[in-house]
Amino acid sequence: MPGISSSQHHVSRRAALGLGLGTAAAVALPGPRAEAAPGVVGGQRLGRPGVQVAPGAPRLPRLAAKSWLVADHDSGDVLASYAAHRALPPASTLKMLFADTVLPKFGRTQHHKVTAADLANIPFGSSLVGIQAGTTYSVEQLWQGVFLRSGNDAVHVLASMNGGVAETVRQMQARADDLQAKDTHVVSPDGFDHPGQVSSAYDLTLFARAGLKNDDFRGYCATKSADFPAGGRKTFQIQNTDRLLTGQGVRPYPGLIGVKNGYTSNAGNTFTGAATRDGRTLLVTVMHPKSGYEAVYEETAALLDWGFAVAGNADSVGTLVAPLSEQPKGAGAAGSAGAGAGSGAGPDGSPAAASSTSRLDDWALGGSAAIAALAGGGLLALRRRGRGRPSGRRRRLD
C-alpha cells in the first residue's frame, strides 16, 4: 500500500543511504537506482518510486491506487504523491484535455445541426448522452453532454465541428506538450481505450488546473443536472456522473467544484477532483484503485481531507509547472524540472531525516567526484545535476 505506517516514520533517508554526518568514508559508490533521470517535470521527487511526502506532515490515509497526487491549485505545490508520472490509461479523465483544447473555439450559444457523419466511428461500448442526427444542439448543450454524462457522442460532434477527430487529436497533443504533460499520448479525443493512449496523475492534474482557469469549464464540471434535447420540443434530464458532486453512492464532498471522472474495463476507475475550503483550493488525482467502484471517490475524499489538514504548513515535494506558452520569453523548458521543496519520503514511503543530509535526495551522488566533494566537506556545494535541462524522458505506452 502507498500509505505510510507509523513505524516507517522512524526510518531516515540518511540511514537508508548508509551516510554518517560529515563522514565521506561511509559513502560507497552507488549501484543502479530506480529513480528518474535528471529533468523530471515538476521535480526529481515526482519521478521516484514510493510515497513522496515531506517529513512531519500528517499521516497519509491508507490508499490502494496505482498512482495518485494531491496539489495546491493556486501555488502549484505538490503536497504528496505516489507514482505521479506512471503512464496509465486515463479513460474519460482525458476529456479534461479535450475540453481545455476545444472549449475556447466555440461560443456557448452557437448552434449545430448534427449529421450522421458527426457520429461516425464512435467506439463500441462508449458512454453516450443520446445525441441524434438531424437534431440541432447548442454548444452549451454539447458540453453538458461531455461533462455531465461523459458522452462520447458529444465529444465526436464537437471534434467534427473542430475539423475532425484527427485534427482534434493533433491539437490535444500539442496542448499537452505546451502544458508539459510529457506522460500523455493522445490517440482519441474521448479517452476511450485505444492502444498507446496513456496519461498520468501528474498530467491529469495539469489538465484540471489549466481547465479551471476557464469560467465555462469550471461551470460545466460543477453542474449537477441539466435538461437535454430529446428531439422536437422534448427534453430529458441528465445528471453528472461525478459522485462526489452529486452524492450518488458516496457522501458528497463539501466544497467540491469538479472536475472529471472516468471508467473503462481496461483503465479501471480514474478521477480528478477539486475542492475549496477556507479560501484554499486543492486538486487530487487518483488512478486505478485495486477494487471497488466507489474506491476512486473514497480515496479522493481522503486525500482532500489530508490536504486541507496540512493547511499550508507542509513543504512541497514538487510543483505543477506552468505551460510553456505562459513562461517568460527565453525560459523554454527550464522551469520543467523544478526540484520540489522539502526533503520528503524515501522510496518505501518513510520520511527523510530533517537535516541537511536529507537533501541528498536531490543530489546526484555518483563517481569519485561526488566522493571527493563529500570528503572535502563540500556536500552543500554540490551542483544539482540536470537542472534546467529538457526531460528527454520517453513516453511509456502501456
The residues that are catalytic are 92, 95, 150
Q: Are 73 and 212 in contact (CB under 8 A)?
A: yes
Q: Residues near 128 by Cβ (< 8 Å), separated by ≥ 6? A: 122, 149, 151, 152, 153
Q: How far is CA 151 from CA 24, 157, 240, 283, 301, in A?
A: 60, 10, 11, 24, 25
Q: Which of 198, 201, 222 is nearest to 212 (CA)?
A: 222
For residue 345 the three cell numbers come to 519520503
**Beta carbons within 10 angstroms of residue 240's beta carbon:** 24
Q: How far is CA 384 from CA 20, 117, 353, in A?
A: 21, 54, 20
H-assigned helices in the chain: 13-17, 95-102, 139-149, 152-161, 165-178, 201-211, 215-221, 243-246, 295-310, 367-375
Q: Residues near 328 by Cβ (< 8 Å), separated by ≥ 6? A: none
**CA torsion, ordered 268, 321, 341, 289, to nearest 10 deg:** 0
**Beta carbons within 10 angstroms of residue 385's beta carbon:** 16
Q: Are 134 and 152 in contact (CB under 8 A)?
A: no
∠ at Cα 109 (207, 103), nearest 5°?
Answer: 15
Q: Which of 120, 116, 64, 94 is nearest to 297 (CA)?
A: 64
Q: How far is CA 158 from CA 93, 229, 377, in A?
A: 17, 16, 61
For 121, counting Cβ atoms within 10 Å of its Cβ (0-12 exposed, 13-18 middle, 19+ buried), the class is exposed
Hey, is 62 helix, strand or coil?
Answer: coil
**CA torsion, ordered 369, 374, 379, 384, to nearest 10 deg:** 20
Q: Residues near 279 by Cβ (< 8 Å), separated by ≥ 6? A: none
